[in-house]
Every structure is written in C-alpha cells, then in structure tokens.
C-alpha cells in the first residue's frame, strides 16, 4: 500500500499562530510515517493544484512569524457542490488521503462538505475573533488581544496628557471577546459588544459623569467591530459630556505580529492532534479546547453549537472599571 499522504491548508482570515499549527501538522504527520502536502491559498489553491510536498525543514523558522506561510484565501468556487466535488477529485488526482483545515466556522463547513465527498478532513480553529462555539479558544486570539492592549496603552498616554476620551474599535464582528478582555485589561469605562445591547445614556454618559465626579479625567470606551459606529459615538459623547473625544479604529494591525507564547503552544498542540487523528483514520472532526484540555468533536455537532458570551466576566468589568 502506498504511504498515506495528508494535506494541510489555512483558510478564511489569517491569524497569528497558524504557522505553529502548520508546522505541527507537518512534523507530527511525518513522525507518523505519513507524507505531508502543503496546500497554498486555502480551498482555492486545492482547486488549482497549488500543492507542495513538505519535509521537516519546510517549516523551519516559521513558529515566530505572523500570518500564514501557506497563504490563505476565500473561495466562492469551493462553496458550491460542484466545487467541493472538484476539490475531492483533485485530492484523488494528487494523492491526498486527508486534509487538515485551519480556519474558522466557514472553513469547517467546507471541511464537512469535503469529508462528505470522500476526503477525510480535520478542522483546527484558527481565527483571532474567538468566535467558534465548540472551542473555548481559537489560535490567534491571544496575540490579537495583546496587540490591541499595546495600541490602547499608547493612546492612553496621549489622552491622559489632554484629559480626553478615546473611543476605540477592536475586531470582533459577531463576537465581543476581544473587546471584553481588552476592555478589562485597559480599564475601559464602557465596553460595547454585539452580545449585550447598550443604552447610550446609562451605559456610557452616566458612567463617565459618575467617574468624572470621583476625579477621573480621561476615559477609554472599547467598542467591538460588530457594534461599530465609533465616529458618531465619539461625537455624541463629546456633545453629551463636553469632554473632547476621539475615535480610533485599530483594524488589521490586530491580525498581524509575532504570535504570543499561548498561540504558539496552542497552535502546536492542536496541529499535532489533527495529524494524529488523520493517522488514526478519524474523519470529520474538529480539534477544540474544552475545560482547558485539547480534545476533538464531530464537525457537524460542533457547527450546531451556540456560543455563550461570558456575562459574568462582563459584569465584573462593569463593576470594577469605574
Ligand atoms: P472562516 O473560515 O474564517 O469562517 P470564511 O467564512 O470566509 O472564513 O470561509 C472560508 C472558506 O470556506 C470560504 O471561502 C469557502 O470556500 C469555504 N466555505 C465557507 N462556508 C462554506 C459552506 N457553507 N460550505 C462549504 N464551504 C464553505
């Protein structure tokens, strides 16, 4: 029988730590006696046959690098039944017996469909947003938050000098986790997340005027991307409080940078487990963190889970950032 060959790809938005996961898939895969193929540019690259065989040295010097050395892409063509069949045919043609897909929920739907077309797939959660219900943690989240904290600390220096209010938008379209944790870490007076509706007067203005009376002179409001509208919000705050207010959108800086220790370690662990699962003939699984442990779940079951926002942590943030 021919040596089993597995592919690895990164898909959807890139995240720091994806390289650690790719490296782990390659090295663990080789250690199990499998061949490992690097598929470039996500499902798009698979459809186009952009595949390179990896060896131990192909993934040298990447653990500390942000982005993804395999590149990533979104693939509308793959997102059709014909596209999925074409991708499966391509795997047969190249001789890929299974694929590790590193990405978000969209990429996992693709992995589920490709498994259905006869190519066993394993998902690994890689997205800075931490928006995957089945996993407590997604690769890239820690680095993105640390970047956001560093950036807000810089803003804070200049705001303090001018007694200003700073409204800062951080990433997180459907998920307020980056905003929540960053907000706690920078001592934000208010944190606006998509999961909790807010009242402008009660949740922002009243909190600012209360803390102002206790002697606070500068303010940080953290807003998740999914809430948005920071320019208008800043204008409204200035009008309502008389405090000079500036809006800043941190944007894509949060996606880049050298991954933190946590993202390197979690990426390494999850990647190694994904390769092991394929070695053990497992299929349609997603590697997740639950109760602090790395384990795996059926992809379909994982995709049906509902995210639970950490309301207790949110309440703590409100209680102490005043
Ligand atoms: P993420 O994986 O970060 O959620 P996307 O949602 O953009 O990113 O998905 C990445 C790619 O996964 C898409 O470009 C598409 O090729 C594939 N994909 C997304 N949703 C589906 C789906 N429902 N069925 C099959 N493939 C999908």
| CB 248, CB 242: distance < 8 Å | no
Same fold, 5-140+259-304 and 143-255: yes
**Cβ count near 319 (within 10 Å):** 8
Average pLDDT, the chain: 96
Distance from C-alpha of 47 to C-alpha of 84, rounded to nearest angstrom: 9
Cα separation of 150 and 144, whole Å? 10
Atom from ligand 1 closest to the CA of residue 105: 4
Question: 138: Cβ–Cβ under 8 A, 6 or more apart, which residues?
Answer: 15, 104, 125, 126, 127, 128, 129, 130, 131, 132
Task: Bin 130: left if φ > 0, else alpha if -120 < ψ < 50, else beta.
Answer: left
State which of 73, 110, 138, 171 you would mutate to test the pocket of ligand 1, scoring each by most atoms of that ligand within 8 A of its C-beta. Answer: 110
pLDDT in tens, 173-197: 999 999 999 999 999 999 999 999 9
Per CATH, the number for 143-255 is 3.40.50.460
**Residue 278 CB partners (closer than 8 Å, separation 6+):** 4, 6, 29, 34, 97, 98, 100, 120, 122
For the chain, which residues make up each domain, given as ranges? 5-140+259-304, 143-255
What's the confidence (pLDDT) of residue 1?
A: 65
Token pair of 149 as six digits: 């904290």
Taking only the tens place, the pLDDT of each residue in 196-230 is: 999 999 999 999 999 999 999 899 999 999 999 99
Substitution candidate for ligand 1 out of 87, 104, 107, 302 with most atoms within 8 A of CB: 107
Q: pLDDT band at residue 321, thresholds of 50, 70 and 90?
A: confident
- Apex 305 CA angle, 316 and 199, nearest 5: 40
Helix intervals (H) in 101-140 = 105-116
pTM, rounded to two decimals? 0.96
Domain at 5-140+259-304: CATH code: 3.40.50.450
CA of 225 to the centre of ligand 1 (A): 20
| C-alpha count within 13 angstroms, C-beta hemisphere, residue 52 | 10
- Is the pLDDT at 314 greater than 80? The verdict is yes
- Quick check: is 129 catalytic? yes
In tens, the pLDDT along 44-98 reads 999 999 999 999 999 999 999 999 999 999 999 999 999 999 999 999 999 999 9
Q: What are phi and psi of 213, to 5 degrees?
A: -65, -30
Measure the CA–CA gap between 167 and 188, rounded to whole angstroms: 9
Report whether pLDDT(158) > 90. Answer: no
User: Is the confidence at residue 7, as pLDDT, over 90?
Assistant: yes
| Set 105, 113, 129, 296: catalytic member | 129
Of all atoms in ligand 1, which is nearest to the CA of residue 113? 25
Q: Which two tokens stand for residue 190?
A: 């208010």
Q: CA-to-CA distance for 69 and 48, rounded, in angstroms?
A: 18
């Amino acid at each position: 029988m021919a040596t089993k060959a597995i592919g690895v790809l990164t898909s959807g938005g890139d995240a720091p730590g994806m390289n650690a996961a790719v490296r782990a898939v390659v090295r663990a895969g080789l250690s199990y006696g499998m061949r490992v193929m690097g598929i470039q540019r996500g499902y798009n690259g698979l459809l186009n046959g952009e595949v390179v065989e990896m060896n131990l040295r192909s993934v040298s010097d990447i653990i500390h690098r942000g982005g993804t050395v395999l590149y990533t892409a979104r693939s509308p063509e793959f997102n059709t039944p014909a596209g999925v069949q074409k991708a499966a045919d391509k795997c047969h043609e190249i001789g890929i017996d299974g694929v590790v897909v590193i990405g978000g929920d969209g990429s996992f739907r693709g992995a589920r469909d490709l498994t259905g077309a006869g190519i066993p797939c394993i998902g690994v959660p890689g997205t800075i947003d931490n928006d995957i219900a089945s996993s407590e943690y997604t690769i890239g989240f820690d680095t993105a938050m640390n970047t956001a904290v560093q950036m807000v600390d810089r803003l804070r220096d200049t705001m303090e000098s001018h007694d200003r209010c700073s409204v800062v938008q951080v990433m997180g379209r459907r998920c307020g986790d980056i905003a929540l944790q960053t907000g706690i870490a920078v001592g934000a007076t208010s944190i606006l997340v998509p999961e909790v509706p807010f009242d402008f007067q009660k949740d922002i203005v009243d909190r600012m005027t209360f803390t102002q009376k206790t002697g606070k002179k500068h303010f940080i409001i953290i807003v998740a991307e999914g809430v948005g509208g920071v320019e208008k919000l800043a204008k409204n705050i200035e009008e309502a409080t008389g405090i000079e207010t500036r809006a800043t959108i941190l944007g894509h800086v949060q996606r880049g940078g050298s991954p933190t220790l946590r993202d390197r370690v979690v990426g390494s662990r999850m990647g190694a487990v994904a390769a092991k699962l394929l070695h053990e003939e497992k299929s349609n699984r997603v590697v997740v963190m639950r109760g602090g442990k790395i384990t795996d779940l059926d992809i379909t079951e994982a995709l049906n889970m509902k995210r639970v926002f950490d309301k207790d942590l949110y309440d703590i943030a409100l209680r102490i950032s005043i």
